[in-house]
Structures are given as C-alpha cells and as structure tokens.
Amino acid sequence: MSVATLPDVKTSTGEPVIRRRDSWLWLVNARLAVGITIVAIFAIGGLVLPFFAPVDPALQATYLKNMPVSWMHWLGTNSLGQDIFWLLVFAIRNSLILGVLVGIGVTIISTVIGLGAGFIGGNVERVLMLIVDSFITIPLLPLLIMLGALIRSNQAFLVLAIIVFGWAWGARTTRSMALSLREREFINMARFSGANTFDILLREIFPYVTAYMLVNFINTMLFAINTEATLAVIGVSRVEIPTLGSIVFWALNYNALFTGNYVWLVAPIVASVLLFLGLFLSSTGFNAAFANRRGVL
C-alpha cells in the first residue's frame, strides 16, 4: 500500500502530515479475502441454484435409492430417494437465511440496548444492564433443546428464540464501547452545540460501533447456523426442512456409513466446515482490517 503526503493537512509547526492514502485497499487482507470468497460462493450457490432445481429435493422417492455419483446425480442419491446435491444446495440456502435473520435481529437489539445503556447512564443503564445480565445467565442450547422436544419448533420459532435469548453478550460489549466514547471531547462539544441525545448517538457514536456491528453480525450468523445444526442432528428441530444439520440427522438414522453411502454424511459435514471457516475468516479478517484502519488514521 502506497504512502502519500497530504499537503492540505499540516501539524501546528506547519509540517505536512504523512499518512497512508484513504482507500478501500485498507480493507483487503488475505484472511478476509479468503473468507469473503468462501462465503460468497456459498451464498451465490445457495440463493441462485435452487431456481434451477428439477424437483423439490425435500420430496422423498423422487429417484432410485442409493445411486452412485454420476453426471445425472453429482453426489448420488440417498436411501430416501433424494438427490444429495440438490438437497445440499437447499440446505445451504435455508441455513444461510436462518443465520442472516438471526444476525440482523441480534445486531439491532444488542446495538440499541448497548448504546442506550452506555451513553444515557443513570437509572436507565441500571435497569437495562439488569435485563442484559439476566439474559446472559440463561443457557441457550439446553433451553432450545427443551423447547424443541416439547413443541417440535419450526424455523421461524428457532430464529425468534435465538434472537430473544442471544442478544445480551453483544449488548454488553456495545455498552462498554459507548461508555468509553461518551467521555470524549467531541461528545462534549456536540452537547454544548445543542445536539440532543438521539443526534449524538446517531451521528457521533454510532459510526464508531459499525465495525463491531459487522463483526458481531458475522459471529451471530456462525452461532445461529451452528445451533440449528446441533438441534437438527439430535432431532429436536423440524428435520423435514433441508438444512445442513437435518441432512446429517437423516444420514445417521439411515446408517449411511454402514450402507456405504459416505457422500450422504460427508457432504453436509464438509460444507458446514467450509462455511464455518469462511464466516470465521471473514469475522477475524474484518476485525483485523478495522484495527489496521484505526492504527493508520
């Protein structure tokens, strides 16, 4: 990355300030590039390919059972007469949609509550942090297992449950950032200039937490997909809906390893590992890029 002299920015002694040129290139690092590439491949494949599916892959007995890999069936078929490739495509789409919905919901709630508690302070902060700490103590996975066993929850319920019980950690982190920012000099200047609380939160503090919001969104996606897969594998979610976890569930129940249909079990596991790797690399890559940005400017 090149270094440029900005003649219009000078120190108190009149010397020009030397800094790196503002550019989108600051965002690029190897980890982030690999992560975004992996996630983009999964997202494009999961969102576009379903439009070309010949039949609904969730339907059973569509094809002959346990057919080998061929040009007609790229990953073969399973013991339920389903094409494994198209089943995997729909599973990736459903898992990504679930992750995105949970990520959006958790990020919005945690940001609003965290910023409000950290900046407003006083009794508002005490009440909000009491609620946050109460939700942090709730073990999410055992709760979802219990609810799934009782009511056999669908995807919409699972999204809502993870959002309701999964926002607290992000809110606590956002609150700590708001606490450190509210004492800065530019915040005091904004107060003296007549800006109200909403304007200060939106225009002065919110831009500083957007980087964390993006990282938190990706991490929440990773957590949501992993949670759904765990629930599906143990059979306490709607396994009739194709997801990465439900494919593993049916493969284990029909003894895919013992019948020699390894692709049925291995394909969703490999896809899950690659998707998790892509999300993890994207999260850590964005975090490193934003940290580098703060160090440069």
- Is the pLDDT reported for residue 270 higher than 80? yes
Q: Model confidence over 66-118: pLDDT tens digits? A: 999 999 999 999 999 999 999 999 999 999 999 999 999 999 999 999 998 88
Domain boundaries, the chain: 49-281
pLDDT at residue 34 in the model: 92
The two three-digit tokens of residue 233, written as one number: 């594998």
Q: How confident is the model at residue 295 (pLDDT cuts 50, 70, 90)?
A: low
Q: Model confidence over 25-62: pLDDT tens digits? A: 555 678 889 999 999 999 999 999 999 998 999 898 89
CA distance 294 to 287: 11
- In the DSSP assignment, the letter for residue 52 is G
Q: Cα-atom radius of gyration of the chain, to the nearest Å?
A: 24
| CATH level 2 (architecture), domain 49-281 | Orthogonal Bundle (1.10)
Phi and psi at residue 75, to the nearest 5°: -120, 15
Across 64-85, b (16+ Cβ under 10 Å) vs e yields eebbeeeeebebbbbbbebbbb
170 φ/ψ sector (left φ>0, alpha ψ -120 to 50, else beta): alpha
120 φ/ψ sector (left φ>0, alpha ψ -120 to 50, else beta): alpha
